Every structure is written in C-alpha cells, then in structure tokens.
Amino acid sequence: MKRILFLTTGGTIASQASARGFTPITAGEEMLKMLPNLSGLCQVETAELMRLDSTNIQPEEWQQMAHSVYSALDNYDGVVISHGTDTMAYSAAALSYMLRNLDKPVILTGSQLALTAKDSDGPTNLYDAFSVALEGIPGVYVVFAGKIIHGCRAVKVRTQGADAFFSVNAPLCGTVTNNKVMWQNPLPTASGARSLAAHCQSRVLLLKLAPGLEPNLIEAAGILGYRGMVVEGYGAGNVTNTHRDIASALAKAIQGGLAVVVTSQCLLEASDMSIYEPGRVMQTAGAIPAFDMTTEALYVKLCWALGQSTDMEEVRKIMTQNIAGEMNG
C-alpha cells in the first residue's frame, strides 16, 4: 500500500468560526477523520507545517513547504498539501520552481467552505487530491473541483464558488469524476536527479498600471530596495509613454539594475511587447517578456530567479527559459 504524506498549512479548509472570523484551527488528524474511506486506499501520515490563513503565506513559507516536501520524498510515494485558496496559485508555482526534476506527485488542494461546514467542498477535494497523488504522476498540481491543474497555470477566479480555479492558457492536466482520475495532459517526465533550489528574493513588486499612475512610484521602488518588478501593462503588454511617462521611469530603473518583466492585465492569451509602439519602448529598454504565463507564476518565478543569481543577464535567461513547463512553446 502506498504511503502519502499529508502536510497542512491552514486555510479555509481547516478553519472554524471564532470571534475574529474564520480561523485555521482544525488539525490534520481531525481532517482525515472526515475521510473514512481513505484508509482503504493508502497509508497517510500527517505533519502540520503552519496554521495560517493563506493571505499570510509569504516567500519564507514557500521555502518551508519546499524543504518539507523535499525531505519527505525519499520516504513517501507522494505529498498532499492542504492550503488556503487565496494564495494557493503562488505556492503551487513556487513549489514548481523550487522542487527540481520531481519524480513523485506533489498535490495542493483546499476548499471554499470549511471542512466542518455543511455541504463543504473540502472532503471531495481532499479525497480527489489523494486519488491523484496515488496515480504516481510526477509534478506539482492543484486539484480542485474535479480539475487537475499544472502548478504554474492555476489562477483563482472566484471568491466563493466551488469551481474556484481555472487553468489559464493551458488545457487541464486531467479531471477527477466520481473518484476516477482521468489524465489528458500530464506534465512531461523530468530528466536528471531530483534537487532542491529554494532560495528566493522577496523584494519583488507587482505593479498594475492604471490611468493617472505617477512615474515617481517606480523611482520609489528602487529607493526602497526592490530587486525586481512585474508590471501588468495594458493589452498585449503596453506601458504609458507620453505624459506620466511610466516607460521612461522603468527604462531608467532597468539601467539601474532592476529586473522588470512586462505582462498583460488580460487573463487569457499571451503578451507581446513587439506589436505596439508603447510596448516596443519597453522591449528596447530591456524589459523581460512574459509570454503567456500567469501573473502569479511570473511573480514567483522572478522572486525565484533573483534568488538563484544576482547577475541580470542570468536572471533574464532564467525568466525566458521554459524550465517548469510554465509557458507554451
């Protein structure tokens, strides 16, 4: 019988009502008691990493998760992580980069309703996550509402609805229906030895452009010690370059050593700075292209890339390599 490690981090799935609102309280062992049929499928051991609303999960917690998973993989056939939905996409992307050449499954799941709530989606999501882990398909996946999503492609799109995550710019890896796992597009098998690369740089800013934004905000980011910036431009990746000249401020920041990635505010399809003049000015300035990556994966990848090297050319190389299957092509 396969052995699966169940790591708990908190989130809605582990929450109970309190005077301060819903708070992660339920321990992993208590969560498993709500899945009585699981004992017939596999041996499960639990470990509590943290009890946090996922709003409070930071890069340091990504590293903690990555170290815990990596140290467990020799002794288990897979890992299931319960996680809050708000930042699950960030954590899934972080594990996709930090856990190199995975040869076993790492599955993140959670719920929109607390596990103890009436009609909670938690029991089904948890059972599905274990079912996918038992398939033995290597890689980091988000399993939610019957979907199996690549860890770098998941985006939360609903605040309350059970179908909370979409796979953006990529087909689903598979589905789970009535406890049956069906694969369509599993991640390719990795080559090389499994390794851990958990270093990351937390001083990265995510900036969404809006009419009226002042360019001195870019200068302030440099003064505050930020090392990188993901800019959500307009349309295909266009940046204001007339009055309130954001593009010139970004170009100056790039010359000063800030790693700048330009993406689109649009959820679907790829950004392309080469199409329009307001995009080309950023391309000429040395901004890093985003391709069709999600903002969550881009942000995490830039944090991770800056943790791997302080050389900007090396950071650019890392950002434009399809190292975790996070972009098409």
Asked if 227 contacts 203 with a C-beta cutoff of 8 angstroms, the reply is yes
Pairing of strands 165-167, 15-16: unpaired
* DSSP states of 185-232: SPPPPP-S--EE-------EEEEE--TT--THHHHHHHHTT--EEEEE
Rounded CA-CA distance 40/66 in Å is 28
Annotation marks residue 240 as catalytic: no
CA dihedral 185, 315, 203, 98 (to 10 degrees): 40
Asked if 259 contacts 316 with a C-beta cutoff of 8 angstroms, the reply is yes
Token pair 């140290």 in the structure block, residue: 71
Which listed residue (8, 12, 26, 294) is catalytic?
12
Would you tell me the crossing angle of helices 59-72 and 88-98 to the nearest 10 degrees? Answer: 50
| Residues with catalytic roles | 12
